[in-house]
Every structure is written in structure tokens, then in C-alpha cells.
Amino acid sequence: MKYDVIIVGAGVAGLYAAMNLPKEKKVLVINKREPFKCNTFYAQGGVALAVDKEDVALHVKDTLEAGSGLCSEEAVDVLSKNSREVIDDLISRGFKFDSDKDGNLLYTKEAAHSRERIVHAGGDATGRYLHHFLLEHNPHAQLSNARVVDLLIKNGECYGVTVLDHRESRNIYADNVILASGGLGSLYEYHTNAPTISADMQGLCVMKGIELERMEMLQFHPTVYVNSNDAQKMLLTEALRGEGATIEDESGRRFLFDYDERGELASRDIVSKAIYEHAKKTGSKVYLSFNNFEHVYFTNRFPNIYKNLKALGFNVPEQRVPISPAFHYAIGGIKTDLNGRVPSVKSLYAIGEVASTRVHGANRLASNSLVEGLVFAKKAVLDILNNPHPKASVEFEIADEVMSEKDDKEKKNLLRHIMWEYVSIVRTKKGLNEALKQINALLKEKIGKLLKFRLLTAQAIVVSALAREESIGVHFIKKDNNDEIIDDANV
Ligand SMILES: Cc1cc2nc3c(=O)[nH]c(=O)nc-3n(C[C@H](O)[C@H](O)[C@H](O)COP(=O)(O)OP(=O)(O)OC[C@H]3O[C@@H](n4cnc5c(N)ncnc54)[C@H](O)[C@@H]3O)c2cc1C
């Protein structure tokens, strides 16, 4: 059977695309592992939007400022102008954002937003509520526990995917393929991402010669509880700081003001770097303090954070919690146009975190990613519906490839360590060159295709980071004149 559309990924972008494709269309949504294992499920703070027409200019301005001059103004305009519509669409389909007793939406503020414009659900469980709703309202078939491992491309056109399903590879054909497979958290030792988020499609694009861009632009979240054994670390939402939580060192001093006059309300890259540098300089631990919160308000507004921290033995809001920055969000990705099309391959789209629409520039404004997933999912679907092009069947052979080798797990962990050590918050050319050397050496070893996806993505990140010699936005590179760039990216 051939589908009209295959969607790779069941997070906000993939599922909202599915929701907007008419029931009569033959659509298949594919996701790895259980459906809830995606970043969307874990989103806490909310969804940013331009509250009304007057707010569009201000939302655009805030987004452009956060992006430090590297946003596409056109893309930001599309995001902002369409944001109200997608939120209203969700509400009209029955989704309940938090509202007051008269039914008015409750808007909150997050770092670097100049007004309250973030809608949320279940207090701090926006992602969970939204994901559940989108799954429930998906009118199409869904294949879970399956992993896309190849794109079927011939003469610059995509004809479907190869999927690894219960250890068997098979081809599934479609007129259009939408990649909505999320970011790349699993490349890092400390990260906040779901375990399925391991850069498969970015790595596959490198193999296929499909352009990735802005890969060096990686966002680190400043307030993460990292003292746990899980690879995925617990994020403490920015809404906490927006509503009064403070960051302090062991002595209780709010040191962020030494780095930026906005203190806790500076953008997350500034806060992450300040914490990283302060901890390095002073050796002090860093804490998030909830002293400004009244107990009952805190437990109602942040019920999940309250419950999770309580389970870890923290008596919040009375007690402070140790924090560190951790990898959080991939700004760069597969280059697309403003309809989500991948320019070099017909019938192939990329939306959500896997894509680079240039909306976020050099830094993403808080809560602008769920809305990006919604807006560009809709754009891609409209483009597909407006340009029908049923294809003749083309059969592809299934490649005989080894997915994993015996030692790949240790090599994955080594890669995580390399990325955290040399390609995280503060970079140097020397460190980046060292990372590149080690990644290239790993690529020459006998490894499976799945690890190769990660290594090729990591390589693309390091090569982009080396190419951008000046610090900008989330890319902070310390100058060292003795460093030279090693140009051996092609393996
Ligand atoms: C802890 C946390 C909190 C956040 N809070 C917010 C917030 O408050 N507001 C905000 O705007 N943003 C927030 N973000 C960012 C936001 O959640 C993500 O950017 C967004 O959800 C990404 O959506 P997506 O649909 O692109 O990908 P995801 O939701 O990550 O979904 C990716 C999907 O792709 C599937 N997949 C991956 N590889 C394959 C493959 N090879 N084959 C098949 N399927 C595959 C996965 O199984 C999954 O279904 C947060 C992120 C995290 C981690």
C-alpha cells in the first residue's frame, strides 16, 4: 500500500500535521518506542503567541532580539502572525489551556518576553496535556515502536522510508514524507530530552547530502536538576524564574546581576553561561530558590515540579534545589523553506525541532518552539494539499545494513562525553578540534548505522561551530590564537 503522507515523529509537529490532514487521506505516523517518549510530552512552561494583532510587532521584536540578528525576519513574521490562529484552532477542537473562572486564558511571562503571552495547560504540564490531546485526536494510522532508518530518494525526489520494525527492515511508500523527528539531546552527557531524541534524521540527511544548517546553535537550559542517574535530566521550567524564583550561590548571593542587569530574567543563554562561569570561577554550587513563592500558590501553579522535587526529597518552595545547565534544544537542523519543504528533495518536508526555519536565529525565545511546531506543521500540510502529485510506484531494494555493533553503546557514551566536554556552553577552537578528531576517529571504526547517525550529526555541529569564529547568541567561543582549524570533516 502506498500512503499519501508518511509523518516521521509523533510530537507536536508530527501530530498537528496529522490532525490537519483530512481523514480521507492515507496517512501513517511513525514513532520510536512509546508515543509519549518525545520532547513535546515533557514541555512544561507553555506555548508563546502574539496575543492579538497589536502584539505581533512586539512578539516579532522579542524573537528577533533573542535571535541576535540571525533570525529570518520573514520566518519570524510567519510564526508570529499565525500563532493566534493555531492556538484558537486547538481551543476550537476542544483543547483546554489554563483559564480563569470566567474562561479567560491565563497568560504568563517568561525570560526575554516583554509581556505576558505564554499560554499553558495543567499548570506546568503543557506538553503532557497537549500531547495527550493530539494523540487522541489523530485521525490516522500510527506505527509506534518503529524506527525510520532510511529515506527512499531517487532523482531528487522522496518516495518513502525504510522502517526498522521489530528488527525487520521494510519499505513504506508515500507521495510525501514529513520529517518531524525532533532534536538531538542524546548526543550530550547532560540533557533534558526524551530518550528517543537521537538525531537519526539529521545524520541520515548528512548521508544523503541533504543540507543541515546552523547546527552550532544549541541551547542549554540553565535550570536543570542533574544529580540523578538518568540520561534525561529534570528541567525546572523558566516560568519559575519568570514568576519569582531566584538563582543563588552557596552563600545565598544572587550573582546573576554580576553578568547581566536583568538577573534571572536575562535570556537563557546568558543565564546558562553565567552559572557555568560562576561555578567554574568560584567552585560554588548553584541553587534555584523559591523563597518568593507562597506554598499554596506554588503547589497549584507548579504541581508536577512540586511532586517531582518532593519525591527527590526537596521540601519546596521552602527549600532550594541545586541546579546546573544542560543541553536542551537544537536551533539548527534540516534546512527548509517557509512551507517546511526541504529545498533539494521533492516531496520531502521537515517541521518542528528537526527543521531549521531560521525562526530562532542564534537563540530561541522561551516557549517559541511548540508554536513553531504548530505553525509550520500547518504550513507543510497546506503545501501538500495545495500541490497534489500522485506518483508512479518505484520499488527500492532494502539495503542490507548493520544497525548496531557490539561496542556501540560505549562509543555512544564516549560521544556524549566528548560533546559535553568540548561542544557545550563555552567552546574553544582547540576543544572543537579535539572533538572533531575524536568523532572522525570513531567514524572510521566498525560501527552500526544508528551510531553513525549520531556521529555524523555531531560532526556537522562541530564543523559549523568551527566555521563560526565569533561568539553570537548561544554560540560562545573563547578566543585562542594558537588554535588552528583541522579540515578533515570528510570521512
Ligand atoms: C523538558 C523540556 C521542556 C520544554 N518546555 C518547552 C516549553 O515549555 N515550551 C516550548 O515551546 N518548548 C519547550 N520545549 C521544547 C519543545 O518541547 C520541543 O522543541 C518540541 O516539543 C519538539 O517537538 P517535535 O514535534 O519537533 O519533536 P518531539 O516532540 O521531540 O517528537 C519527536 C518524535 O520523533 C520520533 N522519532 C525520532 N527519531 C525517529 C526515527 N528515526 N523514526 C521514527 N520516529 C522517530 C520520536 O519517537 C518522537 O515521536 C521543551 C523541551 C524539553 C525537553
H/E run at residue 204: helix 200-208
Shortest-distance Cα residue to atom 33 of ligand 1: 9
For ligand 1, whether the C-beta of 60 sits within 6 Å is no
At a CB cut-off of 8 Å and minimum separation 6, what does 48 contact? Answer: 59, 83, 110, 113, 117, 118, 365, 366, 367, 368, 370, 371
Strands 157-165 and 146-154, bridge-based pairing: antiparallel
278-298 pLDDT, tens digit per residue, is: 998 999 999 999 999 999 999
Mutational test site, ligand 1, from 181, 217, 240, max ligand atoms within 8 Å of CB: 181
Concerning whether 93 is annotated as a catalytic residue, the answer is no
Closest ligand 1 atom to Cα of 41: 29
Could you tell me if 28 and 142 are in contact, meaning their C-beta atoms sit under 8 angstroms apart? yes
Q: Please confirm whether the linkage preceding 317 is cis (ω < 30° from 0).
A: yes
CA of 252 to the centre of ligand 1 (A): 35
179-196 pLDDT, tens digit per residue, is: 999 999 999 998 999 999
CA of 182 to the centre of ligand 1 (A): 5
Instruction: Give me the residues of the chain with pLDDT under 70, please.
Output: 481-491
pLDDT at res. 242: 86
CA of 10 to the centre of ligand 1 (A): 8
Closest ligand 1 atom to Cα of 48: 11
H/E run at residue 378: helix 368-386
pLDDT at res. 178: 99
21 — phi, psi (to 5°)?
-90, 125
CA of 397 to the centre of ligand 1 (A): 31
Query: Considering just the CA atoms, what is the radius of gyration of the chain in Å?
Result: 22
Which domains, from first to last, does the chain contain? 1-220+328-400 (3.50.50.60), 221-327 (3.90.700.10), 408-478 (1.20.58.100)
For ligand 1, whether the C-beta of 361 sits within 6 Å is no
Long-range contacts of 60-65 (CB under 8 A, 24+ apart): 61/114, 62/112, 62/113, 62/114, 62/365, 63/359, 63/360, 63/361, 63/365, 63/368, 64/361, 65/112
d(CA 103, CA 109) in angstroms, rounded, equals 19
Mutational test site, ligand 1, from 7, 109, 196, max ligand atoms within 8 Å of CB: 196
Mutational test site, ligand 1, from 205, 370, 379, max ligand atoms within 8 Å of CB: 370
Q: Which position among 84, 117, 214, 268 bears the catalytic label?
A: 268
CA of 134 to the centre of ligand 1 (A): 13
pLDDT at res. 228: 86
For ligand 1, whether the C-beta of 364 sits within 6 Å is no
220 — phi, psi (to 5°)?
-110, 130
* pTM reported for the whole predicted model: 0.93
pLDDT at res. 481: 53
For ligand 1, whether the C-beta of 13 sits within 6 Å is yes
Neighbours of 25 (CB within 10 A): 17
pLDDT at res. 460: 98
CA of 197 to the centre of ligand 1 (A): 7
For ligand 1, whether the C-beta of 232 sits within 6 Å is no
For ligand 1, whether the C-beta of 44 sits within 6 Å is yes
Pinpoint the alpha helices (H) of 407-468. 408-422, 429-444, 449-467
